[in-house]
Structure 1
Amino acid sequence: MRKALMNIFLTYLQIVALRARAKLQAFAAQEPVRLRAALTSAALALAVVFPAIDAGTAETIGAVGVVALPILVGESARRKVTPVE
């Protein structure tokens, strides 16, 4: 009985994780600028909470996010944030 409940709970956690991943991917594709800002803010917040993470490390994490996110999300995201002439 206990093992069956644990399996049900683990299956539920896997489903929740898959749904969260799908929503994050959709959000990254639709709002890449907001996602980059959120990731940078999270890195800076970690620098405040954990002083061992200095501002340079937080800036590096933000810079990697700025560069890597458009590559990971794809060309459609780049078109959304590129200014139109």
Structure 2
Amino acid sequence: MKRILSYLNALTLRGYARLQVFAAQEPVRLRAALTSAALAVALVVPGLAADGIAEKIGAVGAIALPILVGESARRKVTPTD
């Protein structure tokens, strides 16, 4: 059982790392995927479609992702003299 849990933990960490790399390299595609997922959930669960929830989630993603990706890229860049 411990071996299965260890494998699932490693799989989760790999997925998280790949998601971070994808977010850094393709922020526009990630925002589009998140907005599409929010719209799909709003379609399946009609209660979430009220009051523009999907649009609010998309707007938060459009604002937050460039900030997070920008901070990550800023740390990697060294200033030149």
TM-score norm. by structure 2 comes to 0.83
Moved over 3 A (4+): none
Q: State, as a whole percentage, how many aligned pairs show the same letter.
A: 69
| Pairwise CA distance, 1:73 | 1.2
Correspondence list, 1:36-47, <5 A:
36-47=31-42
Q: CA RMSD in A?
A: 1.5
Q: What whole-Å deviation, never above 9, does each CA across 1:38-77 have from its counterpart, x for those lacking one?
A: 0000000000010010150010000000000011111577
Equivalent pairs counted in the alignment come to 72
Gaps of 5+ in 2: 74-81
TM-score norm. by structure 1 comes to 0.79
CA distance 1:9–1:76, shift in 2 (3 Å): closer
Gaps of 5+ in 1: 1-5, 78-85
Counterparts of 1:75 and 1:62, CA distance in 2: 20
CA distance 1:76–1:11, shift in 2 (3 Å): closer
